[in-house]
Amino acid sequence: MTALASAAAELGWEGWVARRQAQMERWLAEQLPADAPAGLADAMRYAVLDGGKRLRPLLVLAAWEATAAHHDVDPPATEPVWAAAGAVELIHAYSLVHDDLPCMDNDVLRRGKPTVHVQYGQAQALLAGDALQALAFEWLAAPPWADRDPALAVALVRELAEAAGAHGMAGGQAIDLACVGRRLDRAALEDMHRRKTGALLLASVRMGALAARAPAAVLAAISAYGRALGLAFQIVDDVLDVTGDTAALGKTVGKDAAADKPTYVSLLGLEGARACADALLQQALAALQALSAPRAQGLAQLARWVVQRQH
């Protein structure tokens, strides 16, 4: 019996999600600085804690559970998978803090709370985001586990830095900035989203599999899953920006249309966008067939959750 098979058998899908979310919340609360100078720790903790579905850490953990030679309900506390899950969430959190700034999306509401710059001021929000990015790499290189397996730590740093950087998330955001009011064709829209949100989602599952020391063929299957899921996530995001409601999403809806940003809905229509997301879900599930079905069920459920979510 494998990790997730046993965890799922004991906990069920919803029990698994709730358990991993709670573990991650606790891990983040313990690892985030409590004493950085001049309110910086407060702003960092506010940006990260008590919010979000923790989709990226769940993907890291589910990919680890799908591929690791491990049989308990929980990954051991000494495994690098926790640092990988935490680091990915820090990169996500910092990107939201910077993305919400007035010079970017100028958003005042995030996860149902005032955004970091509304709460702490723009300068502190900028610094908190910068410090969160540095902390992500600090966690990946932290003792004791990074000293025990430095080759893995290097692989994780490389994966995350590339996903976050100029050819990944930051590059996608630069395209996003440049294309307001312009019509992108489908290939250009896909390229933007593969970078802007897809790269970090792909990195999440790859880092989980890397942390599990998965062989190359398994890593390839996980990557195919991650690429399909990453794009599906963004398409559903575009759909929800039209059909969702602000209270349930915890962020302002209708902003893309108001900002005249190209989206999958503006390109394919609502039904076309939904059909595209469903097709990508099937692709993601098909990629998992290279893994044993019981072990891959966490990733399969996460893919369904991403595509069928209402917020």
CB of residue 256 to a second copy, shortest distance in Å: 16
CB of residue 129 to a second copy, shortest distance in Å: 8
- The residues facing 233 across adjacent strands are none
- Sites of contact with a second copy (CB under 8 A): 33, 36-41, 44, 94-95, 98, 101-104, 121-124, 126-131, 133-135, 137-138, 140-142, 146-147, 150-151, 153-155, 157-158, 160-162, 164-168, 170-175, 177-179, 191-192, 195
CB of residue 159 to a second copy, shortest distance in Å: 9
Q: How far is CA 17 from CA 83, 137, 234, 302, in A?
A: 18, 26, 21, 9
Residue 12 or residue 33: which is nearer to a second copy going by CB? Answer: 33
- What residue type is assigned to position 94 of the chain? Y
| Helices 199-211 and 55-67, axial angle in degrees (round to 10) | 40
Residue 72 or residue 103: which is nearer to a second copy going by CB? Answer: 103
CB of residue 211 to a second copy, shortest distance in Å: 15
CB of residue 300 to a second copy, shortest distance in Å: 31
Residue 154 or residue 217: which is nearer to a second copy going by CB? Answer: 154
- Cα dihedral 271, 182, 237, 299, rounded to 10, equals 100
Q: How far is CA 97 from CA 126, 234, 240, 280, 297, in A?
A: 7, 19, 21, 29, 32
Q: Which residue has the tokens 């996860």?
A: 111
293/9 Cα distance (integer angstroms)? 13
Residue 72 or residue 151: which is nearer to a second copy going by CB? Answer: 151
Residue 173 or residue 301: which is nearer to a second copy going by CB? Answer: 173
CA torsion sign for 9, 13, 18, 24 is positive
Residue 74 or residue 130: which is nearer to a second copy going by CB? Answer: 130
* DSSP one-letter code for 113: E
Residue 14 or residue 143: which is nearer to a second copy going by CB? Answer: 143
223/213 Cα distance (integer angstroms)? 14
CB of residue 6 to a second copy, shortest distance in Å: 33
With beta carbons less than 8 A apart as the criterion, state whether 188 and 43 touch: no
> What are the tokens at 125?
């929000």
With beta carbons less than 8 A apart as the criterion, state whether 140 and 156 touch: yes
CB of residue 190 to a second copy, shortest distance in Å: 13
